[in-house]
Structures are given as structure tokens and as C-alpha cells.
Amino acid sequence: CVLVSLMDVTERNRTQEALQQAQAELAHVTRLTTLGELTASIAHEVNQPLAAIVTNGEACLRWLAYRPPELEEVRGAVESMISDGVRASEVVWGLRELLKKSNPQRTLLNLNEVIEQLVLLVERELLNNRVTLRLELAPALREVFGDRVQLQQVIMNLVINGIQSMASVTDRPRELLIRSCEGEDDQLMIEVRDRGSGIDPRDMQQLFNAFFTTKPNGMGMGLSICRSIIEAHGGRIWASSNVGPGATFTFTVSPARESSS
């Protein structure tokens, strides 16, 4: 009897593992699809600092050719070149992380940093869609023990849905808010709030179902993947209609336990 139940557990663990593996693969594929859609704007995000580096480099050569050379000007230009270089490489680093096909890996994370890294990748997309982004990040947010890439994917999906929901808005500012705070029940809470078309109350129950979409070219996988990622992190995710126009998507995750407990 003990043997049988042991085998049961092994079998169940194996099924569980296979399921998690399949979910991770699916999350990876949809991440690639989303990034594919963002390619043009991400390329711009890298190109812009590179173009600035070239312009500054040319200016440096001219200043160095002066007699005497304009060393102060050169110094200023080199400083901008360094910060532009750092910026471009941060974008590429963030992109590589999201493209990497690795098994989910949990580490201690600061969700504010996860959000800020993600923002680097979507800034141009926001600009192209004339969306203003506001960040309200709680100072001293406790860390979570989670998978950086997966949590970034969740926030990216919510941000892109928010941008898309405002595509037809012309009579009010297109604003997106990402907020982090300490929520109830000792949970950390992240909110993505848009001022878009809002959610039809009849759709509310189905939003997170796989293949539910109201978009002509939608896949309907984004929110369902968000939910499985958040639930795997012991959290919850839900949607609500704003008092004004638009919708808010909120998720919670538990903070990492203190190592002493």
C-alpha cells in the first residue's frame, strides 16, 4: 500500500513536471511572438543611442583637431557616449534575457527593477502609440522569490494589452499607469491601469481563458499565460473596470520569506 502510494506520488510529480515544462514552452513561444511584434520599436530603441554615439564621436574628432583642442567639449561628449552605450547594451541585455530559452529559474527579485527593465523595451512602442506611461513604484518594496523572465512577460502582456485597448481612443489622453505597492494579506501588488475601451461585463468571466480574444488578430493566450505564471508564483491575477474609462489588471505575489523563518 505504501509502495502504491509512493508510485502515485512519483507519477503525479512526473505529470506535474511535464505540465510545468509544457507551460514553460508555451510561455516561451508566446514571448517570442510578442517580441516579434515589438521588433521594429526595439530596434529603434537600440539604434537611437548608437546614432547619438556616432554623432558625438564625429564631434569629438572635430574638437580634437582644434589648436588647442577643445578638451572640455570632448569630455562632455565622451560622457554622453558612455551613457548611450550603457543604455543600448541594457536594452540588448533585456532582450536576450527574454529570448533565452531556459528553464524557469527563481531568484530574489525586486519587482520595481523588473518593471524598469521592461519599460526600456516598450518605451518606443508607447511613444509610437502616443501613450504616456506613469510609474508609481513603492519605495522599499520587499523582494519576491520568482522567475524574472516570466514576471517580466506578465507585465509586458498587460502593458501591451493596455496599449492596444487605447488604440481607438482619440478624445482623451492615452495614459498607462504601472503601480507597485504593498497590498493586503502581506502580499505585494502590481497594477496596470489603462484608459482604453474597457471590458464588456459579459466578457469579464472569460478574459483569462485560453483562446478568448476579441481582437481580429488576437491569439487569446496572453492572459491565460499570465494567470498560470502568477498562480505558479502563489499569487492571484484579476481584471476590473475603472470608475472612469478603461480597465485595471492587478496581480499579487508573496514576498520572499526572511531567511531566518
Q: Does 240 engage in binding with ligand ADP (CB under 6 A)?
A: no
Plot region of 211 (φ>0 → left; ψ -120 to 50 → alpha; else → beta): left
Q: Does 146 engage in binding with ligand ADP (CB under 6 A)?
A: no
Letters for 16-35 (x = contact with ligand ADP by CB under 6 A, - = none) are --------------------
Please report how close the Cβ of residue 153 comes to ligand ADP at its closest, in angstroms: 11
Q: Does 114 engage in binding with ligand ADP (CB under 6 A)?
A: no
**Pairing relation of β-strands 175-182 and 132-137?**
parallel
Stretches 97-105, 122-130, 144-152, 198-206: which one binds ligand ADP (CB under 6 A)?
A: 198-206
Considering only 57, 69, 173, 218, the residue that binds ligand ADP (CB under 6 A) is 218
Amino acid at 64: L
Q: Does 245 engage in binding with ligand ADP (CB under 6 A)?
A: no
With beta carbons less than 8 A apart as the criterion, state whether 199 and 238 touch.
no
Rounded Cα distance between 217 and 225, Å, is 18
Please report how close the Cβ of residue 106 comes to ligand ADP at its closest, in angstroms: 24
Plot region of 166 (φ>0 → left; ψ -120 to 50 → alpha; else → beta): alpha
Q: Per the structure block, which three cell numbers stand in for 79?
A: 560622457
Considering only 195, 222, 229, 252, the residue that binds ligand ADP (CB under 6 A) is 222
Rounded Cα distance between 181 and 134, Å, is 14
Residue number closest to ligand ADP, CB atom: 222
With beta carbons less than 8 A apart as the criterion, state whether 131 and 175 touch.
yes
Please report how close the Cβ of residue 182 comes to ligand ADP at its closest, in angstroms: 24
Three-point CA angle 94, 227, 203, nearest 5°: 120
How many residues contact ligand ADP, by CB under 6 A?
A: 23
Q: Per the structure block, which three cell numbers stand in for 161?
A: 494589452
Q: Does 223 engage in binding with ligand ADP (CB under 6 A)?
A: yes
With beta carbons less than 8 A apart as the criterion, state whether 160 and 122 touch.
yes
Nearer to ligand ADP, 52 or 199 (CB): 199
Binding site for ligand ADP (CB under 6 A): 157, 161-162, 165, 194, 196-199, 203, 207, 212-215, 218-224, 247
